[in-house]
Amino acid sequence: MTPLLVIAGAMVGAPLRYLIDRAVASRYGAAFPWGTLVVNTLGSFVLGLLAAGALAGAVPGSVTSLLGTGLCGALTTYSTFSYETVRLFTDGARLSASLNVVAGVVAGFAAAGLGTLAGTAIWG
């Protein structure tokens, strides 16, 4: 049953990543990978929230598999983050590449931390 939950979550997460990325790029342009930053930050927050709920015993393993592994796993994307950073660097936008790395790591950690705090406040 667990693999089916992961698949179901991924079937929502992957198209959601695409749609969010396109929406953000259409609003802010594609020179900087804002869409990837948004989906990775959002996924980190949701995963922190779910992890706190799971640790408190309030979020069952099935929900963690569906939303944490499936949805968040397909929503977030380290490979695209890496590719876009390399592309920025090779295109000569070294400052943007560096900012992408710093922003991605800091935003991801901050969002995961805030998600964990929110989950602890809800279920703790």
Binding site for Na(+): what residues are annotated? 73, 76
Amino acid (1-letter code) at residue 79? S
Ordered DSSP codes for 20-49: HHHHHHHHH-SSS-HHHHHHHHHHHHHHHH
**What is the Cα–Cα distance from 43 to 48, expressed in whole angstroms?**
8
**What is the Cα–Cα distance from 117 to 17, expressed in whole angstroms?**
24
Which residue ranges make up the annotated binding site?
73, 76
- Cβ–Cβ < 8 Å for 15, 85: no
